[in-house]
Chain A
């Protein structure tokens, strides 16, 4: 099994398209960091014009932690598309090149082959997130320094102490990995139905865009549907950055406002992964492979 995973990883990292995602993330992060380094104050002044009516804020707001949060908000909506580029190509790519039947002639079961391919796609996804963490978090910490995390939400602001932030990022990245693996499992599932890569890649992107729009639309008729859409749960990493307050309105250090939501979202995403991968194995085991 390990050999199979190694072979699949070799295949993934031999293709130039794999590095498009790494390059895209790096260039986006560097351009945002450059922009905020040069003119970050204007950006925060604009954001804080509402709170500025009542309060004066003193301290280094534009620090590495805030930069990372801004970037995660911007990027984690788009990273699924980069994940789909590889995951949706895992089976369909082989079918497209005509190597799928040859692959199945190896002394491994179809289930083993599929699991190896899915695990390789998972490794790629996690490596993409590690790359994101290195650039968005660690590089930003190095460039902008450290400080308290001051987050402006639409109806309130959250101030998190500097020494209470890092573990939240660790949790957020682990959760983001789970979310992106869900996307990978969807792409992987769709890839068993096609004999070229474009179809499942575009289908995965379409499903994500369609569901994301449904998740964000605030129309009552769709609200009942939202908890069942995996796209609703992809953004639950943000819950790590909301503090619980006590009766005296003091934020509790080390707390999370809604931990149950993180657990529920993680379970929903896990169920989707099991469903998509299980479904792919079930269907593929019954499939007549002709290419």
Chain B
């Protein structure tokens, strides 16, 4: 009986210790990201959503601690997935108020990553669960899957270049589920019938949307005015 008790206690400690390890890793990644107080960058944004026809657009991206983020197309219109304020990693790991659990290792684009499940302690948090794929050697998040209460699940895949030392990506691919889009023809005043019906297979394929942002010309910690974030 005593043996069994010790075994259970030992197992509890090992799980706890493991969870501690992951928190440590996440905190290290956070510390790396925390070097950046603000940044601005140029970027190219490609929107691939079945019901949107948009060309690749030149955008300007601004970030300021703790979680101010703005993606702006000069004089133009930009389309971002709902919940898109989290297009940056810093806002995903903005607080220390989480539990980090290990979920093994996985390879993301040729890099072995630690899979960490991030559970927020605050019950009113919009984020329900975040899974991070952390490149332990470089302390970089290669992939993140976030499930939110209101805006569904979205996935971010990051690749890094010269600003990897700050944890800033060179390219982010943002995948998300789209809802149906349909407006009555009476509202759009389209009375011609020139739209081809989508096949079921296309419809299913088209449920997934993608926004791809390629970052260039980062300017880090040089100050960004608050006015930039006012819409």
* Contact (Cβ within 8 A) A155 B231: no
* Contact (Cβ within 8 A) B48 A248: yes
Identify B195's interface contact among A58, A152, A154, A245, CB under 8 A.
A154
Does A207 sit within 8 A of B, measured CB to CB? no
* Contact (Cβ within 8 A) B80 A56: yes
Cα A57 to Cα B82 in complex, Å, equals 9
B197 to chain A, nearest CB (A): 10
* Contact (Cβ within 8 A) A148 B183: no
Nearest chain-B residue to A160 (Cβ)? B55
Number of residue pairs A-B, CB distance < 8 angstroms = 134
* Contact (Cβ within 8 A) B81 A162: no
A250 to chain B, nearest CB (A): 6
Identify A153's interface contact among B80, B179, B188, CB under 8 A.
B188
Identify B53's interface contact among A57, A159, A216, CB under 8 A.
A159
Given A58-B72, A147-B75, A162-B75, A47-B187 contact (CB < 8 Å): yes
Cα A261 to Cα B195 in complex, Å, equals 13
| A-side interface size class | 35 or more
Does B56 sit within 8 A of A, measured CB to CB? yes
* Contact (Cβ within 8 A) B181 A157: yes
Does B78 sit within 8 A of A, measured CB to CB? yes
Does B108 sit within 8 A of A, measured CB to CB? no
Instruction: Render A43-56 as a binary contact track against B, CB cut-off 8 A, 1 for contact.
Output: 00001001111111
Given A47-B187, A148-B73, A58-B182 contact (CB < 8 Å): no
* Contact (Cβ within 8 A) B185 A154: yes
* Contact (Cβ within 8 A) A58 B77: yes
Does B76 sit within 8 A of A, measured CB to CB? yes
Does A60 sit within 8 A of B, measured CB to CB? yes
Instruction: Render A146-168 as a binary contact track against B, CB cut-off 8 A, 1 for contact.
Output: 11101011111111111010000
Complex interface residues of chain B between 36 and 59 (CB less than 8 A to chain A): 46, 48-57
B54 to chain A, nearest CB (A): 4
A104 to chain B, nearest CB (A): 43
Does B193 sit within 8 A of A, measured CB to CB? yes
* Contact (Cβ within 8 A) B46 A154: no
Instruction: Render A201-216 as a binary contact track against B, CB cut-off 8 A, 1 for contact.
Output: 0000000000000011
Chain B residues lying within 8 Å of A162, measured Cβ to Cβ, are: 75-76
Chain B residues lying within 8 Å of A154, measured Cβ to Cβ, are: 182-185, 187-188, 190, 195
Cα A113 to Cα B79 in complex, Å, equals 57
Chain A residues lying within 8 Å of B180, measured Cβ to Cβ, are: 50
Chain B residues lying within 8 Å of A238, measured Cβ to Cβ, are: 190, 192
Cα A218 to Cα B185 in complex, Å, equals 12
Identify B79's interface contact among A55, A74, A243, A248, CB under 8 A.
A55
Chain B residues lying within 8 Å of A253, measured Cβ to Cβ, are: 55
Chain B residues lying within 8 Å of A159, measured Cβ to Cβ, are: 52-55, 77, 79
Chain A residues lying within 8 Å of B79, measured Cβ to Cβ, are: 55-58, 159
Cα A63 to Cα B190 in complex, Å, equals 21
* Contact (Cβ within 8 A) A157 B75: no
* Contact (Cβ within 8 A) B80 A55: yes
Complex interface residues of chain B between 150 and 205 (CB less than 8 A to chain A): 176-185, 187-195
Cα A258 to Cα B182 in complex, Å, equals 21
* Contact (Cβ within 8 A) B77 A47: no
Cα A261 to Cα B194 in complex, Å, equals 10
* Contact (Cβ within 8 A) B84 A56: yes
* Contact (Cβ within 8 A) A252 B81: no
Cα A163 to Cα B220 in complex, Å, equals 31
Does B209 sit within 8 A of A, measured CB to CB? yes
Does A3 sit within 8 A of B, measured CB to CB? no
Does B61 sit within 8 A of A, measured CB to CB? no
Cα A235 to Cα B188 in complex, Å, equals 13
* Contact (Cβ within 8 A) B77 A59: yes
Residues of chain B whose beta carbon lies under 8 Å from any beta carbon of chain A: 46, 48-57, 71-73, 75-82, 84, 176-185, 187-195, 209, 231
Instruction: Please list 11 pairs of residues, one from A and one from B, whose beta carbons are closer than 8 Å in the complex, sorted by A's number.
Output: A50-B181, A57-B78, A57-B79, A58-B79, A60-B77, A148-B76, A148-B77, A154-B188, A157-B52, A157-B181, A232-B192
The 5 A-B pairs with the shortest beta carbon distances in the complex, nearest first, are: A59-B77, A216-B191, A159-B54, A53-B179, A148-B76
